[in-house]
Amino acid sequence: MVVSEMREEKKAHWEGKHFSFFTNRECEYFPCHKGVDPAEFNCLFCYCPLYALGEDCGGGFKILENGIKDCGGCTLPHRRENYGKITGEFQRIVDTFRKK
């Protein structure tokens, strides 16, 4: 097996696919978070599904004095490489709502 074939085997099924990445450069708020290269800015999860996990989301959030979760400094959903991390948490999100 050649090295290029080995790399292909290790790639996740979503890597390099169009459904896992979308940039809306015409959005009035683009880019809505600083710290991500605009050419690599993923708008697919504009509203982050991990928000529903509260403090267990794994992102870079802070809780404001009024108790509101502020995700303004989080770039996790806007990085191309995090598609698998986010979609991998869908079952945990569902389980969280089932418990409530």
On the question of pLDDT at 7 being above 60, the answer is: no
Among residues 33, 39, 23, 42, which one has the least CA distance to residue 81? 42
Which residue has better confidence, 5 or 45? 45
For residue 28, the one-letter residue type is: E
The residue range of the domain holding 64 is 3-99
Task: Let me know if 43 is exposed, middle or buried by CB neighbors in 10 A (0-12, 13-18, 19+).
Answer: middle
Domains identified in the chain, total number: 1
Which of the four pLDDT bands, split at 50, 70 and 90, describes residue 1?
very low
Task: Let me know if 77 is exposed, middle or buried by CB neighbors in 10 A (0-12, 13-18, 19+).
Answer: buried
pLDDT at 18: 86
pTM higher than 0.85: no
User: Please, what is the average pLDDT of the chain?
Assistant: 88
